[in-house]
Structure 1
């Protein structure tokens, strides 16, 4: 990795704070002067190779964290928020956004939180008459985005919870760990065919009831989720305390997310899963069979392999419903997803609904020139009975093209031919492509030209 002109002051400052060291003590351990450290932390000077080497030797620092952090995610989020018509005449240049993401990430997050509150307020005002008529007005910002951002900016990896799950199954198979733990807790496991919840725990009778019609992977996952709530409550609460959510509802939602995280990590323990992913070249079906998990669970787990010093291939993972709404998302790559509106219609994840049960491959290129191997597949969650509701989603998984050979799905694809890569974007509002035939909205950062005497695919022309 190139270390020239590497400005990562925020990450350096975050590392020092995490270690509980003053600037003076940190400078001494790195064998540099206090003014030099101060200049690097404020991005007045790049981080030198000698400092990077000292970070590795002294603290076991993962060098890749200096190059891949919150910066690109924040720049993408800021660009999309600033594409709001509210900022049409005052949107900062891309260089300014990069400076904010690098030098003042806390300011960037505060702006995003403020814009999110503004959007939510606008939505509430738009439906105020109807809400007042039905008596369903509920003030306060939605906690869902707050929780989503928590996992988003944690790189979708929660170290303490992940390691606890790995220890939970360290010396025994996952099923044995579930059985032993439930027995130790005096809990009876019951399967039901009644039309009830997928998982129901009665603390009075100590009975855990799971839906018999649910897939085995789902039952195992739900059992582990309940075990996390019962045996890892202190760990989950400590993690939630550090997150400092703004509302109890957000905290409650995040606790579900952390229990789910524990369940996925126990179902697919980190080191074993990482090694098997490499040996199978990330064959999702082989991984699902080996770990007794679903394709969605396996795909999601691949997106969490961000342990310092033992990272997996950086991938993006997304789940989309039939309306095009993104219901799950994470990216350890430079590809970031739209926070508002749907995903690019040219992305293959939308085509997955047309070919259920099949993997769809796509070589794609984003407007910044980065190329990706994209994989999509439709997944169905059956209702377990005649006329029971069926939920359909499409999952998307992919990596930058430099890692494509590590995936079995790249076999037979010509990644050297530029013409095989399809042009995709993030969101129409911030996509700069001038000639996209699927554009639904004009780019707010570009000038439009309207010709009343001419009509092409779009009713306007996007100017440079």
Structure 2
């Protein structure tokens, strides 16, 4: 079997620069000629065994660093960035990407960072909605927005908290035993759990160590609140350490984030990462089967699916969103390129709004955003009763989706014609940043676009977008 040749020119150059040696001096210490070193640094020749030994003996270098796989990771990251429709048909050959990754890794990382900044800037354009839609708008984010951004830029995955929750859930023999496991752990700490007819879902008397849960809540909500309280009591140091790293700008944001982390722990304990990911893949992400398997609500399952971004064991990158009947987004997360309007309503052409008209049913939609990316979107209404006659019912609609290239892993994609471009509906993010010129549902003109207004002509819109 042939031995794979080792090309590590960039690492040789980095080491020589770090040691402040000229090529001539470095070649002498390695016991090779100057031209030979030059060829190795430019990846025209592989690193020889003699040089590997010299690096270890002369400089104490861990030679495994020469083949850590950085180049392949850079190639993968560049290919992902270049798949952005902004580059259209300019995808370079893989051979060129490999040359860049091995010969100019700093340039490759700079390109990847530049693209990441571009995507974030594009998304932040949506924040202009706030300044245009509110008279009292301020430049500084509210504490709520700051926390929302924290989870968003963590890919909605908090590794330490997720693993702690998974460890907690490992004490339960089955997914259905998590309630008993949580009760047992609370009892170990002297906490008494009482079910009472009250309006708050959860109420904890820290002095008397009494946890009261509402009998008006669903069983899934009761278990979730048990796990949330367990997180606050047993994982305080972990939560506080995570908050320290986040460096929030206000005490209010920190307090909101702590509840968010406790909620994260509860969801991750109810649906532990490894078991949940395996079951989701086996049932092709059937939300109803996952709901029954893990004793969670449909909304909890959909939200959990959007957090499956553990390094080395990632699930499908999903987006997840919840809207109220006015179309205002109340929860949002995207592990995909799709970003949501940060303020105001979502695109009216999106099927999430139709879910209110068909309660209890899953709606499927093939959609294409202005950047040319195609998605499969699943929408359903979720109602949250007040628990008694006359109590108000909170109604929302949720949407879960991913890029259409993952359609084969979704049971909901069966019978959909994903190969036909005509089946994809055009949707946007927010009218103010949507570039579509002829959308019949446009509510306001796009930002930074000139308008043409003809008093003698009226189309669907009272203006034309230049």
TM-score range, shorter chain: 0.7 to 0.9
Q: 1:302 aligns with which of 281, 302, 305?
A: 305
SS in 2 for 1:399: strand
Question: SS where residue 208 of structure 1 aligns?
Answer: strand
**1:143 equivalent in structure 2:** 143
> CA–CA distance in 1 between the matches of 2:9 and 2:268?
35
Counterpart contact for 1:101–1:108, Cα < 8 Å? no
Residues 1:371 and 2:374 are matched in the alignment: yes
How do 1:48-447 residues align onto structure 2 when only pairs under 5 Å count? 57=69, 102-103=113-114, 123=134, 125=136, 142-172=142-172, 173-194=177-198, 196-447=199-450
Task: Report the alpha carbon displacement of residue 447 of structure 1 after superposing the two structures with TM.
Answer: 2.6
Partner residue of 1:33?
13
| Cα distance between partner residues in 2 of 1:247 and 1:117 | 23
Instruction: Quote the offset at 1:433 in angstroms.
Output: 0.9
Deviation at 1:179, TM superposition (A): 2.0
Answer whether contact 2:202 2:212 (CA < 8 A) is retained. Answer: yes
Deviation of the 1:384 alpha carbon:
0.6
How much does 1:324 deviate? 0.7
CA contact (8 A) 1:29 1:58 kept: no
Q: What is the count of residue pairs matched by the alignment?
A: 385
Instruction: Name the CA shift for 1:139/1:108 in 2 (closer, same or farther; >3 Å).
Output: closer
1:176 to partner: Cα distance: 3.1
Answer yes or no: is the 8 Å Cα contact 1:365–1:371 preserved in 2.
Answer: yes
Distance 2:282 2:392 in 1: 38
**CA 217–37 in structure 1, closer or farther in 2 if over 3 Å, else same:** farther
Whether contact under 8 Å (2:129, 2:342) holds in the other structure is: no
**5+ long unaligned stretches in structure 2:** 1-7, 19-42, 47-64, 85-109
Q: CA deviation at 1:340?
A: 2.4
Structure of greater Rg? 2
RMSD: 3.5
* CA deviation map 1:402-460 (0-9, x unaligned): 00111100111111111111111111111111110000011123332111111111011
> Would you say the 8 A contact 1:56–1:62 is kept in 2?
no
Q: 1:313 to 1:63 in 2, by over 3 A?
A: farther
Q: TM-score w.r.t. structure 1 length?
A: 0.75
CA 1:54–1:115 in 2, change beyond 3 Å: closer, same or farther?
farther
Select between 448-457 and 110-119 the one with higher mean Cα deviation.
110-119
